[in-house]
């Protein structure tokens, strides 16, 4: 769909949401979720998309907003989703605009996004709940409070990780567990911890080694399956993961939007990778399009709004069935 010249406008805004307590990974702690929202308007229709700039990839709030504002002229000239893929590189800024284009198209057509994408209507998706990095006893208490959840994702960071997982398992004896090392391990760390974590019932580790320094995975025995996160961005990065990773984590802020995320999902499955769908620390507006990608995924980690003290209104419904598809008022 092409937008009519002069009728399409783009607004860009920075929004902040308080975290429930704090959220800590190996790179630091955060007390707010900082997002950028792209809003497209045409006549009486409005489309929105949210992204989370990530310093790990050299992104800043200011830089992403500047990149989006630079697209205002192209939007007015009729930019569509297909042209956007070559007009902007993968990353947070393109994600916000791509999702806003999907939302606007759905609003104008009077359809849901999954109909336009020719996908089955999404069902509620059970999601992991993240236990952020901390002292073992603190992580044990948080695991105990969340032991009822269908999957716990545990943030790790190197020294002391075995004690942390033992504490989490003590707090949640029966909960399925995956762990995220956030590039904080070495090959020796993996070789030492993997058998112990498998014995403790851990199902998978996400990105144990730094992206660009993960060649050891090609020759390392992997008793604990390994999922690519920082090493996996879009379809172009997929070939470099073969033989090193067992799973791929698809995140819209890495792929640059729903358009490429759906392509990466399909390509990863066709290549034999297990599928994980994840998110940044964000509001329900970021999660809504990811739910389409997450249908049938082996691991779903779309708990961003659950980690906030306040989500946007209307937000997504989370209950015992998981994260429910968005209302049209929210997105899509």
Dist. CA 322–CA 64, nearest whole Å: 31
The Cβ-side half-sphere exposure at 67, using a 13 Å CA radius, reads: 23
111 classed as catalytic: no
Dist. CA 332–CA 317, nearest whole Å: 15
* Under 8 Å between Cβ of 75 and 101: no
155 classed as catalytic: yes
Q: Could you report how far apart the first and last alpha carbons of the chain are, in Å?
A: 15
Cis peptide before 177 (omega within 30 of 0): no
Dist. CA 262–CA 254, nearest whole Å: 12
* Under 8 Å between Cβ of 233 and 252: no
Q: Which of 153, 155, 244, 254 is catalytic?
A: 155
Q: Which of 142, 153, 244, 251 is catalytic?
A: 251
DSSP label at residue 308: B
Nearby residues of 310 by Cβ (< 8 Å), 6 or more positions away? 17, 18
Which residues are identified as catalytic? 155, 251
């Amino acid at each position: 769909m092409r937008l009519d010249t002069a009728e399409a406008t783009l607004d860009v805004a920075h929004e902040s949401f308080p975290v429930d307590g704090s959220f800590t990974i190996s790179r630091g702690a955060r007390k707010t979720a900082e997002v950028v929202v792209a809003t497209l308007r045409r006549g009486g229709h409005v489309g929105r998309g949210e992204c989370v700039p990530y310093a790990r990839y050299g992104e800043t709030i200011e830089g992403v907003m500047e990149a989006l504002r630079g697209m205002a002229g192209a939007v007015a000239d009729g930019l569509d989703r297909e042209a956007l893929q070559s007009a902007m590189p993968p990353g947070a800024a393109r994600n916000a605009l791509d999702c806003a284009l999907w939302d606007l198209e759905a609003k104008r057509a009077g359809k849901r996004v999954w109909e336009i994408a020719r996908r089955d209507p999404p069902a509620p998706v059970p999601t992991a709940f993240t236990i952020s990095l901390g002292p073992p006893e603190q992580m044990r208490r948080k695991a105990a409070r969340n032991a009822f959840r269908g999957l716990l994702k545990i943030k790790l960071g190197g020294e002391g990780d075995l004690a942390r997982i033992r504490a989490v398992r003590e707090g949640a004896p029966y909960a399925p567990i995956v762990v995220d090392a956030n590039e904080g391990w070495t090959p020796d760390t993996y070789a030492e911890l993997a058998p112990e974590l498998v014995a403790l019932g851990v199902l998978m580790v996400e990105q144990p080694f730094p992206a660009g320094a993960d060649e050891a995975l090609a020759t390392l025995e992997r008793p604990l399956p390994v999922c690519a996160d920082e090493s996996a961005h879009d379809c172009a990065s997929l070939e470099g993961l073969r033989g090193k990773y067992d799973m791929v984590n698809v995140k819209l802020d890495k792929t640059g939007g729903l358009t490429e995320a759906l392509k990466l999902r399909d390509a990863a499955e066709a290549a034999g990778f297990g599928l994980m769908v994840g998110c940044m620390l964000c509001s329900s507006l970021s999660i809504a399009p990811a739910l389409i990608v997450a249908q049938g995924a082996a691991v779903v980690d779309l708990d961003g709004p659950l980690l906030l003290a306040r989500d946007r209104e209307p937000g997504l419904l989370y209950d015992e069935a998981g994260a429910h598809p968005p209302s049209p008022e929210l997105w899509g």
